[in-house]
């Protein structure tokens, strides 16, 4: 109850912030605004990272003085900054003068050609924090840069003249750049958690100090290994964004096929349609803790195989594990408790013979929400619930293990935890970045007191959305944005829209703006499309779309958007998004049934995969494939449709886009399905197998082949892929192969 009231209070306060809080003149153009503990800065009234090369840098309080990063502040106002690692001195060059700041000293010196050097003392010292030199705010801003500083309630302004920091301006700045703040002490974390978990005992928590931070070793060159010859034509996972990889239970690199089966991962040489098992990956139950790993998701990248899974326990069925006392020498290293669950990652090198060798392992406490891979960096988004009922007075801090550091579990350092002021959450949202190519570089981990439901990632940013149903305003979706650049992950702002989102395809980034499609369930359901700018401020929307219906599928394609809603028929709405400030519906088409998934065949043809529905009775029948001509946005039309099976037919592709195999060179698609055929009365027959179809570039649909599983049932894995001219139909540990021209089985 307390959580709901606080969340509602925050929303009310946010809605009460005047519209000028997002206006271009919030602060003068020659001024920057910062917030103690925040990695964000307002510059030219645009929200940016304070230090784009080091998103973990924030202004801090030290010895009752505000310290800011020398480089970020000085370079913004035209100074040149350098650092001498041998002398451990930071140098600022401005207007012919040189300002030297020795680290850990309470003075700096000024040098200028033809003028005697001068030493200036101050009441604190320059520090190295997050690999950045930190010095007092007023010293650097006023004494050296000649700027004017404003300060009120942890909000800082630096500019050519004074800024009026009245209550309204401070509140607006906090709404923007004060959205997340770093935890500064265990006491602060204890208080925040105590406020959101009133069930805690009243006595003081016993806290653990964070493990000491370790500097990452210098990058070592990758060890070259001989790699196998791979096909030039093979299927890949159907992914939302080009260049952003998604995990799946089956992967191929053109020669080897990798299959995740829960207890085991199998590696096969495709061998021209006669697969040969080359290696297996299994992880045994830990006899000490009773924990086991379920291996469920895969990535591949040029000879690298990445396995994702979860480490869980059998409720401590072996023997109890004693807790170490806090004053024990190893108190900084947290043990694995059997009741904890971890997200598990392992990176393997695969040689020319399909044999594995382990490169690194990583575990983070919590349940995997989703993951993405871009280039050689893999991103994990993990939720860890605060089990405050069983904490025995200890504040829970996420634990992790990184084999590049050690084989011990560690608590996450406090300076890697952030929170949302005024928005309590009984959950940690953890974002981890892992380099899968280099064997020695540790992971980058950041945790937030928050949670997420859905993940979308573009080539520049990672977005995590969370549904909130606790408000009388109806359902609300909160969205957090993280800029991603290799291992550098930085919070870049948050926003909110009315309604809840269906899946990852309900979000899309284009030209720096985020488009979001939502359904609001308050009173009568209604749908909307929102456009948010780079700071996640709303700039355009289409509201009150299809009242009484809900969104079934969404697809964004450049400056066009497509939304399918449903009640009795399938309205396909076409949006013109070329002006992000004024999006509009330009076309609508109603056909029987609905599409669960929309896939662009090309810029003019859209494929919908869903279910057929009787327009009169509303009863769902078979799996329906439809193609739509969207070349004239204002007049979409259905080109062709095909219905497979009767009521009760099902295919995973209806709910999982990764179950769709695509062969663009042959205009071919395939997916696993169960087709029910009603004979008469209560009698029916079932067909289990793969559907292979041709969808031409002009939108024609041709049914090519049904391949029966012949009694072989895949309970965990059912995927179809191709390599060169061979289909591989994978059902758990069984792989059936077919000639792609004749569909004859290869024996």
**Per-residue model confidence (pLDDT) at position 455:** 98
β-strand partners of 702: 694
Higher pLDDT, 17 or 322: 322
- Residue 568: what pLDDT? 60
436 pLDDT band, cuts 50/70/90, is: very high
CB 383 within 8 A of CB 451: yes
The CA-atom distances, in angstroms, between 93 and each of 96, 98, 139, 269 are 7, 5, 15, 60
pLDDT-above-90 percentage for the chain: 72
pLDDT at 390: 45
Burial class (CB in 10 A: 0-12, 13-18, 19+), 685: exposed
Q: Name the pairing type of β-strands 454-457 and 461-468.
A: antiparallel
Could you tell me the pLDDT band of residue 591, with boundaries at 50, 70 and 90? Answer: confident
pLDDT classification of 663: cutoffs 50, 70, 90: very high
Of 354, 361, 353, 321, nearest to 340 by C-alpha is 321
Answer whether 719's CB lies under 8 Å from 735's CB.
no
Give yes or no for residue 320 having a pLDDT over 50.
no
Taking the C-alpha atoms of residue 102 and residue 422, their distance in angstroms, rounded to an integer, is: 39
pLDDT confidence bin for 632, thresholds 50/70/90: very high
Residue identified by tokens 């700039």 is 539
If you average pLDDT over residues 23-39, what whole number do you get?
A: 86
Please tell me which residue, 519 or 619, carries the higher pLDDT value: 519
**pLDDT higher than threshold 80 for residue 550:** yes
pLDDT at 88 over 70: yes
Going 615 to 618 to 619 to 624, the CA torsion angle's sign is positive
Query: Residue 194 pLDDT > 90, yes or no?
Result: no
In the chain, the N- to C-terminal Cα span, in Å, equals 64
Mean pLDDT check: name the lowest of 201-210, 499-508, 587-596.
201-210
> Which pLDDT score, from 0 to 100, does residue 203 have?
33
Contact 633, 576 (CB under 8 A): yes
pLDDT at 563 over 90: yes
Give the pLDDT score at 212. 33
d(CA 60, CA 155): 12
Q: Each residue of 600-618: pLDDT tens digit? A: 999 999 999 999 987 766 6
Q: In this structure, are residues 23 and 31 in contact, taking their beta carbons and an 8 Å threshold?
A: no
Q: Determine the pLDDT at residue 8.
A: 36
Q: What tokens were used for 141?
A: 């801003």
pLDDT grade for 207, boundaries at 50, 70 and 90: very low
Contacts of 549 (CB under 8 A, 6+ apart): 525, 527, 565, 566, 567, 571
pLDDT of residue 388: 57
Across the beta sheet with 488-498, the strand order is 454-457, 461-468, 476-485, 488-498
Which residue has tokens 């994990």?
380
Q: What share of the chain is helix, strand, coil (3-state, %, to 5)?
A: 10, 50, 40
- Could you list the beta-strand ranges (E) of 202-341: 250-252, 256-260, 264-269, 276-282, 291-301, 304-313
Read off the pLDDT of residues 347-375 as tens digits, 9 standing for 90 and up. 999 999 999 999 999 999 999 999 999 99
Q: How do residues 179-193 score in pLDDT, each as one tens digit?
A: 999 999 999 998 888
Confidence tier at 596 by pLDDT (50, 70, 90): very high
Q: What's the confidence (pLDDT) of residue 328?
A: 39
Q: What pLDDT digit, counting tens, does each position of 641-659 carry? A: 999 999 999 999 999 999 9
pLDDT higher than threshold 90 for residue 114: no
Kindly state the helix (H) or strand (E) to which residue 188 belongs, with its residue range: helix 186-196
> Is a pLDDT exceeding 70 seen at residue 228?
no
List Cα–Cα distances, 517 to 466, 512, 544, 570, in angstroms.
14, 17, 12, 17
Q: Answer whether residue 470 shows pLDDT above 70.
A: no
CB-neighbour burial class of residue 336 (10 A; exposed 0-12, middle 13-18, buried 19+): buried
Nearest to 379 by CA among 507, 509, 246: 246
- Whether the pLDDT of residue 395 is over 90: the answer is no
Element (H, E) at 447: strand 444-449
Q: CA neighbours within 13 Å on the CB side: how many for 513? A: 23
**In angstroms, what is the C-alpha Rg of the chain?**
29
The whole-number pLDDT of residue 279 equals 97
Helix (H, G, I), strand (E, B) or coil at 15: helix
Is residue 475 a contact partner of residue 502, using CB atoms and an 8 Å limit? no
pLDDT class of 79 with cuts at 50, 70, 90: very high
**49 neighbors 39 (Cβ within 8 angstroms):** yes
Confidence at 6, pLDDT banded by 50, 70, 90: very low
Calculate mean pLDDT across residues 271-298.
90
Quote the pLDDT of residue 570: 66
Q: Averaged over 326-339, what is the pLDDT?
A: 44
Mean pLDDT of the chain: 87
Q: Mean pLDDT, to the nearest integer, of 507-535? A: 93
User: 633, 603 in Cβ contact below 8 A?
Assistant: no
C-alpha separations of 675 from 647, 682, 728 in Å: 9, 16, 21
Question: What percentage of the chain exceeds 70 in pLDDT?
Answer: 86
- pLDDT > 50? residue 442: yes
Confidence of residue 471 (pLDDT cuts 50, 70, 90): low
Gap between the Cα atoms of 378 and 486, Å rounded: 9
Instruction: Give the count of beta carbons closer than 10 Å to the beta carbon of residue 93.
Output: 13
The residue among 335 and 708 whose pLDDT is bigger is 708
Separation between Cα atoms, residue 95 and residue 78, nearest integer Å: 10
């Amino acid at each position: 109850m307390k959580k709901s009231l606080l969340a509602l209070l925050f929303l009310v306060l946010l809605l009460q912030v005047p519209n000028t809080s997002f206006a271009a003149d919030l602060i003068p153009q020659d001024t920057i605004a910062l917030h103690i503990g925040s990695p964000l800065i307002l510059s030219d009234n645009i929200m940016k990272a304070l230090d784009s090369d080091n998103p973990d840098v924030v202004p801090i309080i030290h010895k009752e003085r505000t310290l800011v990063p020398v480089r970020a502040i000085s370079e913004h106002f035209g100074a040149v900054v350098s650092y001498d690692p041998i002398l451990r001195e930071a140098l600022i060059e401005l207007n012919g003068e040189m300002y030297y700041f020795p680290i850990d000293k309470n003075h700096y010196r000024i040098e200028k050609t033809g003028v005697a050097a001068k030493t200036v003392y101050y009441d604190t010292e320059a520090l190295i924090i997050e690999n950045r030199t930190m010095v007092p705010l007023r010293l650097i801003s006023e004494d050296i840069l000649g700027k004017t500083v404003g300060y009120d309630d942890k909000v800082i302004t630096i500019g050519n003249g004074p800024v009026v920091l009245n209550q309204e301006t401070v509140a607006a700045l906090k709404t923007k750049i004060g959205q997340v703040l770093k935890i500064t002490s265990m006491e602060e974390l204890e208080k925040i958690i105590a406020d959101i978990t009133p069930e805690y005992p009243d006595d003081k928590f016993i806290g653990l100090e964070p493990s000491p931070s370790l500097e990452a070793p210098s990058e070592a060159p990758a060890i070259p290994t001989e790699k196998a010859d791979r096909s030039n034509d093979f299927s890949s996972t159907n992914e939302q964004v080009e260049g952003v990889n998604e995990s799946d239970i089956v992967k191929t690199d053109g020669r080897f096929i990798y299959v995740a089966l829960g207890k085991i991962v199998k590696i096969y040489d495709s061998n021209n349609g006669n697969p040969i098992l080359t290696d297996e990956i299994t992880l045994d139950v830990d006899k000490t803790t009773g924990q086991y790993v379920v291996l469920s998701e895969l990535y591949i990248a040029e000879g690298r195989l990445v396995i994702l899974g979860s480490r869980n326990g059998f409720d401590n069925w072996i023997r109890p594990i004693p807790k170490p006392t806090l004053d024990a020498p190893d108190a900084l290293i947290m043990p694995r408790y059997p009741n904890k669950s971890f997200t598990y990652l392992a990176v393997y090198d695969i040689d020319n013979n399909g044999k594995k060798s382990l490169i690194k392992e990583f575990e983070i406490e919590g349940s995997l929400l989703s993951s993405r891979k871009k280039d050689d960096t893999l991103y994990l988004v993990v939720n860890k619930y605060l089990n405050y009922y069983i904490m025995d007075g200890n504040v829970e801090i996420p634990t992790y293990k990184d084999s590049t550091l050690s084989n011990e579990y560690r608590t996450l350092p406090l300076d890697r935890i952030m929170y949302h002021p005024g928005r309590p959450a009984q959950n940690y949202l953890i974002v981890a970045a892992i380099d899968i190519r280099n064997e020695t570089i540790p992971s980058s981990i950041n945790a937030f007191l928050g949670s997420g439901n859905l993940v979308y990632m573009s080539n520049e940013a990672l977005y995590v959305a969370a549904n909130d149903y606790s408000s009388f305003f109806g359902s609300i979706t909160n969205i957090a944005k993280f800029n991603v650049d290799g291992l550098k992950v930085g919070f870049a702002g948050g926003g909110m829209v009315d309604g809840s989102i269906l899946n990852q395809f309900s979000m899309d980034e284009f030209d720096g703006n985020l488009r979001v499609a939502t359904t609001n369930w308050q009173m009568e359901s209604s749908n909307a499309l929102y456009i948010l700018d780079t700071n996640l401020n709303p700039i355009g929307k289409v509201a009150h779309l299809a009242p009484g219906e809900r969104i079934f599928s969404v697809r964004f394609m450049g400056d066009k958007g497509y939304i399918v809603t449903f009640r009795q028929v399938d309205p396909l709405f076409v949006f013109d998004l070329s002006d992000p400030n004024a999006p509009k519906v330009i076309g609508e088409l109603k056909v029987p049934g609905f599409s669960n998934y929309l896939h662009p065949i090309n810029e003019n043809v859209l494929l919908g995969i869903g279910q057929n529905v009787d327009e009169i009775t509303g009863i769902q029948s078979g799996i329906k494939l439809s193609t739509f001509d969207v070349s004239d946005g204002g007049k979409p039309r259905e080109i062709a449709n095909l219905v497979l099976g009767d009521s009760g037919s099902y295919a995973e592709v209806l709910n999982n886009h990764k179950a769709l195999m695509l062969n663009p060179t042959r205009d071919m698609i395939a997916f696993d399905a169960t087709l029910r055929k009603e004979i008469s009365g209560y009698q029916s027959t079932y067909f289990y197998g793969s559907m292979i179809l041709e969808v031409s570039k002009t939108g024609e649909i041709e049914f090519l082949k049904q391949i029966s599983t012949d009694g072989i049932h895949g309970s965990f894995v059912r995927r179809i892929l191709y390599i060169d001219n061979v289909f591989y139909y994978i059902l758990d540990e069984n792989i059936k192969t077919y000639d792609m021209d004749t569909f004859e089985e290869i024996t």
